Chains A and B, each alone.
Chain A
Amino acid sequence: QVQLVQSGAEVKEPGASVKVSCRASGYTFTSYGITWVRQAPGQGLEWMGWISAYNGYTNYAQRLQGRVTMTTDTSTSTAYMELRSLRSDDTAIYYCARGGDQSWCDPWGQGTLVTVSS
C-alpha cells in the first residue's frame, strides 16, 4: 500500500534549522510530487510548497520563500523539507503528502512535530 513515513520529532532553538524527511513506499516515487503542509497548535492547515519528484521543480509559499528548501532523493524515495532561521511561530506539526500538482494530496505522512523554543 502507498505509505509516507516521516522522521521523528525535533526540538530546535530560535535561529536554527530543521530538516524533516518523508520516505515513500508502495508506488513509483517519480510519478508524483510531494506537498508539504504545516499545522500550528490548535490551528488550520497551511500549504508550504510542492516539489516534483520527477525533475525537482518546486513551488513555495510566498511567506516562506528564502527560508524553505524542498528536495528529493530518488535513490531512496525520500523527500526532504528544510526550514531555516526558525522562530517560535514555526512550532507546528509538519506533514508531507503525495501529490499536489496534477493530483490531490493523498495519502499523508503521520506528521512531524517541530518545537522551536529556547
Chain B
Amino acid sequence: EIVLTQSPATLSLSPGERATLSCRASQSVSSYLAWYQQKPGQAPRLLIYDASNRATGIPARFSGSGSGTDFTLTISSLEPEDFAVYYCQQRRNWPRTFGQGTKVEIK
C-alpha cells in the first residue's frame, strides 16, 4: 500500500499570505496524484488532478507541482474561503490512498 504523508499537519496563516502544502509518497506515484479541499460540514471537492491540473472552476491561485514521490500544493494568496483541510490522494496503485490532511487555519 502506498502511504501518503502530508506536512505540516496545520498551517496557520493570514489572508493574503502564500500557503505551501506538501505530500510525500512512500513510492513513486508518477503524476497520479490529486488534491482535494474539504470545508467543515461539506464533502471534499477536487482541486488539482494529475499533480498539476486545476479542476473545473478552481481559481488560478491554486497550483500543484511535483512528480514521483514529492508533491506540492500552493495557494498564492489566501482568500477567506480557502481556510479548510486539504487532502492528497494517489491512484497509481490499488488500494487508492489518501494523506492524513493539512488544515489551513487563520492566524
The chain B residue sitting closest to A111, CB to CB, is: B43
User: Is B3's beta carbon under 8 Å from chain A?
Assistant: no
The chain B residue sitting closest to A4, CB to CB, is: B43
User: Is B89's beta carbon under 8 Å from chain A?
Assistant: yes
User: Is B97's beta carbon under 8 Å from chain A?
Assistant: yes
- B45 partner residues in chain A, CB cutoff 8 A: 106-108
A106 in contact with B46 given A44-B87, A44-B101, A100-B91 (CB within 8 Å): yes
Number of A interface residues in the complex (CB < 8 A):
23
User: Is A46's beta carbon under 8 Å from chain B?
Assistant: yes
Interface 1/0 per residue, B1-28 and A, CB below 8 Å: 1000000000000000000000000000
Q: How far is the CB of A96 from chain B (nearest CB, A)?
A: 10
Q: How far is the CB of B60 from chain A (nearest CB, A)?
A: 19
Residues of A11-29 whose CB lies within 8 A of B? none
B101, A47: Cβ atoms closer than 8 Å = no
Q: How far is the CB of B49 from chain A (nearest CB, A)?
A: 5
20 contacts between A and B (CB under 8 A): A44-B87, A44-B98, A44-B100, A45-B38, A45-B89, A47-B98, A50-B96, A97-B44, A100-B91, A100-B96, A101-B91, A104-B34, A104-B46, A104-B49, A105-B34, A105-B89, A107-B43, A108-B43, A108-B45, A109-B43
Footprint of A on B, CB under 8 Å? 1, 34, 36, 38, 43-46, 49, 55, 87, 89, 91, 94-101
Footprint of B on A, CB under 8 Å? 35, 37, 44-47, 49-50, 59, 61-62, 95, 97, 100-101, 104-111
